[in-house]
Amino acid sequence: MKAIRRFTVRTVLPDELAPLGRLAANLRWAWHPATREVFAAIDPEVWESVGQDPFRMLGEVGGERFAALARDEEFRARLREAAADLDTYLTGPRWYQGLSQPPSGIAYFSAEYGLTAALPQYSGGLGILAGDHLKSASDLGLPLIGVGLLYRHGYFTQTLSPEGWQLEGYPEIDPRGLPMSRLSDAAGEPVCIGVDMADGRRITAHVWVVRVGRVPLLLLDACHEGNDPELRGITDRLYGGGSEHRLRQELLLGIGGVRAVRVYCEQTGDPRPEVFHMNEGHAGFLGLERVREYIDEAGLTFDEAAEATRAGTVFTTHTPVSAGIDRLPRDLVERHFTADVSATPGVPRDRVMELGTEDYAGGDPAVFNMAVMGMRLAQRVNGVSELHGAVARDMFQGLWSGFDAAEVPITSITNGVHARTWVADEAQRMAGRMVQDSAEFTHSEGWRKITDADEADLWEMRRTLRSRLVADTRERLRASWRQRGASSAELGWIDDVLDPDILTIGFARRVPSYKRLTLMLRDRDRLKSMLLDPDRPVQIVIAGKAHPADEGGKRLIQEIVRFTDDPRVRHRIVFLPDYDMALARSLVQGCDVWLNNPLRPLEACGTSGMKAALNGGLNLSVRDGWWAEWFDGSNGWAIPTADGVRDPDRRDELEAAALYDLIEGEVAPQFYDRDEEGLPNRWLEMVKHTLVSLGPKVLATRMVQEYVTRLYQGAADSSRRLAGEDMNGARELAEWKRRVRKAWPGVRIEHVEVVGMEDPPQVGGEMQVHTTLGLAGLAPEDIQVEVAIGRVTGDERLVEPVVADLEVVGEPDGSEGPLVRYAGSVPLRRAGTCGYTVRVLPAHPMLADPAEMGLVVVPQPPETMDDGMVLR
């Protein structure tokens, strides 16, 4: 018989062991080795069998064992020490507490979170990044609240058919068997939130609380007895279902998430967040709920409420491809915001729809763009690496169509990784022997001490991690082949799969086409010769999942699996199914080289290579994402790219050949070049340099600190200024914007001239610029006037212009009408053919960027200007 539902029954802990329950219920154990050691000591075999999950372990160990441990004074002492350490961690001051007037609270929204393999609520990099953000926020002491959805079937588990085709499974998750608890009121009754749907039904959701160190994560769960079966299924799967299903999930995440935060703060007494952070467009509806709150609670108009919302909102875009953005049918969204039934009552439907409309060149008026809505409701927007920031500025330039892509107000904060989650215990212990104060790892001086590491010890640590990966690979591969139908008698060859002394390359990620899983197969004979080289062999471990609806991705997986099934090479190249956090840890810790070969520039950041680097691995990657800014020529290898080649097959052919050349000509020789003691000195020098050059950069603590100082603090300051004096700031800013937008079509540049410049102009000189403007009723303080000078392209576009402000000097002589004259100078810094222009922008102290409103006035083309207009 098969069970129709599963649940967890727990042993009652003796009073002496009560702290075990508290330690298991807080996910800090996921990155705290001493806590994990306490649970491992309970029963090492059970600890491994439950995947090193303390919460599961408490349900698997019998009462007799716990009774024995209650009498074990040594164990009780270790338990008391771990519990006291957790208390100190949760209550003591940390980095954030040393800041001056930081945000009193931050709400962080994401559709997925990768915190531990024990809580499968993630699909890939977005969720892993969100999980590392929460952990680092906890380590730094941020008053942050995470918000997401609880998916009863997670993403999916991956297995393979006998033919190598990806198969998906959706085992049900029992939240009572996970480290979380339902949010309850003072009387102990569960607290729920609700969101109205288009058809008059209302989603009611439980709120589960996961303790991530100091950070609470609120997960909304639609599996509530008050919902009908269809509504209960809203939170069934991550990224599952069609457009209607995804829309309902995002309404619950955004609108329901804000309501959950409010209820949580009411129950706990925590301060209401001043800053709301949307991690991608999935959470975009949170902005609408905050607009509704301002309309209902403060009596603001829509425009006033939108300004108050924007001031305190941060939006992070994570995708450089349009396919990664939720673009929903417009009519589908409209049905949820009618006058009769609305998810946000009181918010006008036409204003809602304006927010997600692609009303720019190349946009589709039939879709509602969640990322566009998110950006329009956030005053501060960022990408996740320097290159991705540039790609995002180009991708979303239509929202600021009067500006060059470089001026689009999207900044970048490069992602980082939570070191204690991803770095092997052996590597942490080795680092700890050289750097006693962990605070030193926040700056480069501490990392430089790594160069003192004994090379023999470093190499032995790397071999230990590689050997562990080999053992893990064999175990996983055997389980996969049995699932595919093979008998144990057929699997003896797996005992010889991989070798702990052979150069090991790892490749693991989601499997969209642009990540090019099968690029390594471009020349199969050459790949086989590298795998089977008698002197310098290479072995490769591969993992990755394709989205269940991505047939093309599944074909790529099947292609790689069929190659790895070949008896001639299967001992040197393997595909491991069901890529999750546990497998990821094994791979980034055990691989010598981390391979990444996406189509540049389609990798937003990519953090797996950072994790490998912190474990002493070296990167072999296309210069995309984070590697584009932090590769220095000595901390790994950059795969040359054929960026100018338009034929995709030819491009793949060229870049695959470059990859093979690097492995054969540089990577393998350095790995196998040994001294008389058997140590690869040049390789270990690169490892040390990698740790020193990348260590302080790739940490998620650096990333979160940047979010605080560059975005959260500014958002909180803006929010406070608009909220002051009974929201007068929001009212005044909305009125000012209304007035500027109304007048803007009449603002014009009447005349531009250059005076007093040498002939010919020389580097080091100055250009004096005078311009006359018609302000259409605006005051000089409503605008800023700039002159820009730079090299020019063939189509007269300025390249890297130098910009200077022009100041009011009065009204022009003999003028008729309300004209104002401006003047100023700009230095001449570059030789060559140069050009200049002037422009007018809105100016207000509450604008985060001059381009924020998307308004700009420039001179008319030269042939329609007065003789005073000089272009060169």
Asked if pLDDT for residue 227 goes beyond 70, the answer is: yes
Neighbours of 827 (CB within 10 A): 13
pLDDT reading at 865 higher than 70: no
Residue 457: exposed, middle, or buried by beta-carbon count in 10 A (0-12, 13-18, 19+)? exposed
- Measured in whole angstroms, the distance separating CA 141 from the mean position of its chain's CA atoms is 20
Nearest to 311 by CA among 775, 635, 723: 723
Collapsed DSSP state (helix, strand, coil) of residue 516: coil
Q: Say yes or no to pLDDT of 859 above 60.
A: yes
> Which residues are CB-contacts of 301 (< 8 A; sequence separation ≥ 6)?
295, 734
For residue 271, pLDDT beyond 60: yes
Take residue 366 and report the two structure tokens written for it.
């039939």
Other beta carbons within 10 Å of 15: 7
Q: Which strand ranges, in their side-by-side order, compose the sheet holding 783-792?
A: 748-755, 766-774, 819-827, 798-810, 783-792, 834-842
- 95-412 with 455-698: one CATH topology? yes
Residue 619's beta-bridge partner residues? 594, 636
pLDDT value at residue 443: 72
What pLDDT shows up at residue 6?
A: 63
3-state secondary structure of 426: helix
Instruction: Give the CA diameter of the chain.
Output: 101
CATH code that applies to domain 455-698: 3.40.50.2000
Dist CA 678 CA 365 (whole Å):
65
365-416 residue pLDDT tens: 999 999 999 999 999 999 999 999 999 999 999 999 889 999 999 999 999 9
Q: State whether residue 171 is helix, strand or coil.
A: coil
Rounded average pLDDT over 737-747: 97
Whether the CB-CB separation of 507 and 547 falls below 8 Å is answered with no
Element (H, E) at 182: strand 181-182
pLDDT at 73 exceeding the cut of 70: yes
**Bridge partner residues of 541 (DSSP):** 506, 574
Confidence of residue 157 (pLDDT cuts 50, 70, 90): very high
Is the pLDDT at 869 greater than 50? The verdict is no
pLDDT at 812: 65
CB 423 within 8 A of CB 721: no
What would the pLDDT profile of 625-649 be if each residue is shown by its tens digit?
999 999 999 999 999 999 989 999 9
Quote the pLDDT of residue 4.
Answer: 67
Rounded Cα distance between 537 and 831, Å, is 54
- 491-518 burial, b at 16+ Cβ within 10 Å, e below that, comes to eeebeebbebebbbbbbbbbbbbebbbb
Beta-carbon-side half-sphere exposure of residue 674 (alpha carbons within 13 Å): 10
Q: What is the pLDDT of residue 793?
A: 83
Question: Please, what is the average pLDDT of the chain?
Answer: 93
Q: pLDDT at position 507, please?
A: 98
Q: Which two tokens stand for residue 350?
A: 């036409």
Instruction: Give whole-number Cα distances, 648 to 361, 559, 704, in Å.
Output: 27, 19, 37
Q: Rounded distance, CA 169 to CA 546, Å?
A: 13
Strand 618-622 relative to strand 636-639: parallel, antiparallel, unpaired? parallel
Higher-pLDDT residue of 268, 761: 268
Q: Residue 165 above 60 pLDDT?
A: yes
Domain limits of the chain? 15-91, 95-412, 455-698, 747-864
Q: What architecture (CATH level 2) is domain 747-864?
A: Sandwich (2.60)
Measured CA to CA in angstroms, residue 257 lies from 346, 521, 626, 636, 639 at distances of: 19, 45, 31, 42, 43
Other C-beta atoms closer than 10 Å to the C-beta of 233 total 18
Determine the pLDDT at residue 794. Answer: 77
The CATH homologous superfamily for domain 95-412 is Glycogen Phosphorylase B; (3.40.50.2000)
pLDDT tens digits for range 691-713: 999 999 999 999 999 999 999 99
Provide the sign of the torsion angle of the four alpha carbons 768, 771, 775, 779, taken in this order. positive
The pLDDT of residue 867: 38
Strand partners, 182: 208
CA distances from 121 to 169, 183, 239 (A): 14, 19, 11
DSSP letter assigned to residue 113: B
Three-state SS for 162?
coil
Predicted local confidence at residue 665, as pLDDT:
97
Q: How far apart are the first and last CA of the chain?
A: 85
Q: pLDDT tens, 86-142? A: 999 999 999 999 999 999 999 999 999 999 999 999 998 999 999 999 999 999 999
Beta strands at 766-774 and 819-827: parallel, antiparallel or unpaired: antiparallel
Where residue 868 falls among pLDDT bands split at 50, 70, 90? very low
* Least confident stretch, 47-51, 154-158, 444-448: 444-448
Token pair for residue 755?
């005076």
Q: Distances in Å between the alpha carbon of 223 and those of 151, 237, 525, 587, 644?
A: 9, 12, 53, 35, 51
- pLDDT band per the 50, 70, 90 thresholds, residue 757: confident
Radius of gyration, CA atoms only, the chain = 30
Q: Residue 870: pLDDT band by 50, 70, 90 thresholds?
A: very low
Q: Say yes or no to pLDDT of 816 above 60.
A: no
134 in Cβ contact with 217 (< 8 Å): yes
Provide the pLDDT for residue 491. 97
Q: What was the pLDDT predicted at 7?
A: 65
What pLDDT band is residue 871 in, cutting at 50, 70 and 90? very low
| Cα 872 from Cα 870, distance rounded (Å) | 6
Separation CA 364–CA 646 (nearest Å)? 26
Mean pLDDT across the stretch 28-49?
96
Cα atoms found within 13 Å of the Cα of residue 338, Cβ hemisphere only = 11
Task: Give the C-alpha distances (Å, rounded to integers) separating 466 from 444, 533, 570, 575, 592.
Answer: 27, 20, 18, 17, 8
Output the six-digit token pair for 799.
Answer: 């390249």
**Mean per-residue pLDDT for 800-824?**
82
Q: What distance in Å separates the CA atoms of residue 146 and residue 133, rounded to the nearest whole number? A: 10
Q: What value does the mean pLDDT take over residues 215-235?
A: 96
